[in-house]
Amino acid sequence: MQWDSSKPEVSGVVSETEGVLRLVVTFGLTLVLGFERQLRGSPAGNRTFSLIGLGAAVIGLLSESAAPNALAGAVTGIGFIGAGLVFRQKEGRGEVVRGVTTAAAIFATAAIGAAGGEGRLLTATVLVLVSLELPHVPVLRLLDAARYESRFIPDNPTPQRPADTTPQQ
């Protein structure tokens, strides 16, 4: 009997090449999300987002083949990171909560990373990026609820954003 060094294909196990490709693609897409957040002055930028996405992708790879419960722990950990980004600040007579969008984007990035580790991620990444860019892209700005808030809530003027103060053409 001769020794066969080839590995048998096991259902649910990803080849090393495919796993590396998934990690690289996930890294690139989550880096883009972090780049967008950093351009907008977020406390978490491209390195934070790409690390979260890459870490979640590794957990996604593991959960697909060997540890299906690993994603539950990752969700809990990402919740703690997001909570650390949210804070209240006194402003005028009231308080303002800041960092919620970044915390939500980090949670979405972790989900994108997990999906990337399992080989399913492009659509979610595009939708998260569209959501983050709503107030900044002229066509998408029409979908931003903050634009219409003052029409529905009396005595609550819509906060001016840098993108909203540019002249319309």
Tell me what the pLDDT averaged over the chain comes to.
76
Under the banding of pLDDT at 50, 70 and 90, the label for residue 8 is very low
How far is Cα 60 from Cα 58, in angstroms, rounded to an integer? 5
Q: At what angle do helices 100-117 and 46-65 cross, to 10 degrees?
A: 40
pTM of the model: 0.66
Q: Hey, how many other C-beta atoms are within 10 angstroms of the C-beta on 34?
A: 24
Task: With a cut of 70, say whether residue 12 has pLDDT above it.
Answer: no
Q: List, in order, residues 6 or more apart from 67 with CB less than 8 Å away.
A: none
pLDDT at 41 (0 to 100): 84
Q: List, in order, residues 6 or more apart from 158 with CB less than 8 Å away.
A: 146, 147, 149, 150, 164
Under the banding of pLDDT at 50, 70 and 90, the label for residue 166 is very low
